[in-house]
């Protein structure tokens, strides 16, 4: 039986403060998991789902759609379970990671508030940092499918923002230099790049990919930037990691497909899951 509070404010109502819904979601997670607070959050995109099992011991899990403000995942390959995981750090201390399954994408038409509700909920549970992952198209032939790439910056090409009203937030160092350096201590060969988010759900045209490259992008995809902005606004440090699942349109002579994305993610799963687990343990 669901324990979702019947009095949770409607996230879609413009009169509702979205942070009230995030606090209600955090209270629900604390009640169901028995964990009063979490330290780090993970949002796992295409190909990254296997990392949760390697991060630590699962304390509790619950269907994401039963948490206030969340809906069932609508994209194949995206988990719909949220987990509380106890992480044993190298120094012997213990922390708790919140792994949020069931990411909402902008192209689903549920509104920007739904897209960023996960990271706002994570902040409300006490998380001081968040790791945002995704599967994406690469603009460099040297980055073959299966290559993880740290995000150093992004281009938000969605023509929208998760911030409402006169809310001004500095994004100069949005993708934390400290966390990127920590990730490189786990894997010194991790490259860095700029991620461009398009609204989707259609893949980018070769001309759009070329435009993104001229603007400075190294990677293209359909998630992450809005969540990163909301996470910074909520006071969290952000680490972004992309998995190149395919060469972007016009870079590769092959047509693009979601099946290709899933297959590349599955092939790279063991390596990137181990990488992410070690990064989280070091955070």
What whole-number distance in Å separates Cα of residue 64 and Cα of residue 46? 17
Structure tokens at 122: 């994570």
CA distance between the termini of the chain = 35
pLDDT single digits (tens) 104-135: 999 999 999 999 999 999 999 999 999 999 99
Q: 19 to each of 28, 68, 165, 226, 265, how far by Cα in Å?
A: 14, 12, 14, 16, 33
pLDDT single digits (tens) 170-192: 999 999 999 999 999 999 999 99
- What is the length of the chain? 283
Q: 168 to each of 195, 232, 255, how far by Cα in Å?
A: 22, 11, 40
What whole-number distance in Å separates Cα of residue 225 and Cα of residue 222? 9
The whole-number pLDDT of residue 144 equals 87
pLDDT single digits (tens) 65-106: 999 999 876 655 555 899 999 998 778 888 999 999 888 999
The three-point CA angle 92-94-95 to 5° equals 145
Q: With bands split at pLDDT 50, 70 and 90, how would you rate the model's confidence at 266?
A: confident
The whole-number pLDDT of residue 76 equals 54
What whole-number distance in Å separates Cα of residue 24 and Cα of residue 102? 18
In SS3 terms, the chain reads as: CCCCCCCCCCCCCCCCCHHHHHHHHHHHHHHHHCCCCCCEEEECCCCCHHHHHHHCEEEEEEEHHHCCCCCCCCCCCCCCEEEEEEEECCCCCEEEEEEECCCCCHHHCCCHHHHHHHHHHHHHCCCCEEEEEEEEEECCCCCCCCEEEEEEEEEECCCCCCCCCCCCCCCCCCECHHHHHHHHHHCCCCCEEEEEECCCCCCCCHHHHHHHHHHCCCEEECCCHHHHHHHHHCCCEEEEEEEEEEECECCECCCCCHHHHHHHHHHHHHHHHHHHHHHHHHC
Structure tokens at 19: 């942070």
Predicted TM-score (pTM) of this structure: 0.92
| Residues recognised as catalytic | 204
79 within 8 A of 101, measured Cβ to Cβ: yes
pLDDT single digits (tens) 3-32: 444 567 789 899 999 999 999 999 999 999
């Amino acid at each position: 039986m669901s324990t979702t509070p019947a009095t949770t404010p409607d996230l879609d109502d413009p009169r509702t403060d979205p942070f009230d819904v995030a606090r209600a979601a955090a209270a629900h997670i604390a009640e169901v998991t028995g964990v009063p607070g979490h330290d780090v959050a993970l949002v796992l995109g295409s190909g990254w789902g296997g990392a949760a099992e390697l991060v630590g011991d699962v304390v509790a899990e619950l269907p994401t759609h039963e948490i206030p403000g969340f809906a069932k995942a609508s994209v194949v390959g995206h988990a719909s379970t949220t987990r509380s995981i106890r992480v044993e750090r190298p120094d012997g201390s213990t922390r708790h990671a919140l792994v949020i399954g069931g990411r909402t994408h902008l192209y689903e038409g549920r509104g920007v508030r739904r897209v960023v509700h996960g990271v706002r909920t994570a902040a409300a549970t006490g998380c001081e940092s968040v790791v945002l992952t995704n599967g994406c198209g690469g603009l460099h032939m040297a980055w073959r499918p299966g290559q993880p790439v740290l995000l150093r910056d992004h281009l938000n090409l969605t023509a929208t923002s998760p911030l409402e009203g006169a809310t001004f937030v500095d994004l100069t160092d949005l993708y934390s230099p400290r966390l990127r350096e920590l990730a490189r201590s786990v894997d010194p060969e991790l490259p860095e790049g700029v991620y461009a988010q398009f609204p989707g759900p259609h893949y980018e045209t070769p001309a759009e990919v070329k435009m993104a490259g001229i603007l400075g992008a190294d990677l293209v995809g359909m998630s992450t930037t809005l969540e990163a902005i909301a996470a910074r606004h909520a006071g969290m440090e952000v680490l972004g990691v992309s998995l190149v699942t395919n060469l972007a349109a016009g870079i590769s002579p092959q047509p693009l497909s979601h099946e290709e994305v899933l297959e590349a993610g599955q092939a790279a799963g063991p390596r990137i899951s181990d990488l992410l687990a070690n990064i989280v343990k070091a955070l």
